[in-house]
Amino acid sequence: MKQFDQTVETCAAHAKRLRWAQNTLSNQFPLTAENLSNIGDVDLAILDQFIVRFSKLQDAMGAKLFPALLDLTYEQGDLTAFIDKLNRLEKLGAIPSTQQWLLLREMRNQFAHDYPDDPELQASLLNKAYKLSKELLSVFEGTLKFAEKYR
C-alpha cells in the first residue's frame, strides 16, 4: 500500500504541473509553425515544462502506477509483458483502453526526437500532445477512482 501511495504522490505532482502548463499555454493553442517560431522565452520554458511533465507522468504511470494498481487488486498474476498488464487493466475497468494508452506512450516517445529544423512538424506534435494531455490526465484520475474500491 505504501508503494502505491508514493507512486500516486509522484504522479500527482507531475499531473499538477502538467495541468498548470496546459492552463498557462491554453491561449497559444493550436500552434502554427509561425507562432511557434515567434514564441517568447517564458512560453517556450512553459512548453518545455509541458513536454517534460507529459512524458514523466506517462512514464511513471506505465512503469510504476499500473503495476502497483495490479498488485493492489491482486490481479498481477504472471503478467510479464506490458501489453498483458494493459489488457488486464482494461478488462478490470482501471483504464479505458489499451489502444489509447499505447497512443499516449507513442506521443511520449515522439518527444524524444527533436525537430529543430521543422517548426511545422513541431507545432503538429505539440498540438496533438496538447489534446492527448487531457486524456492522460483523465486516465490518471480514472485510475485513482478505480483504486478507491481496493483501499
Q: Which residue has the cell 486524456?
A: 135
What topology does CATH give the domain 2-148? Answer: Four Helix Bundle (Hemerythrin (Met), subunit A) (1.20.120)
Report the run of H or E that residue 18 belongs to, with start and end: helix 2-25
Query: DSSP code of 28?
Result: G
Query: DSSP code of 113?
Result: S
Domain borders along the chain are 2-148
Position 77 pLDDT exceeds 70: no
pTM greater than 0.85 (yes/no): yes
When pLDDT is cut at 50, 70 and 90, the band that residue 83 belongs to is: very high
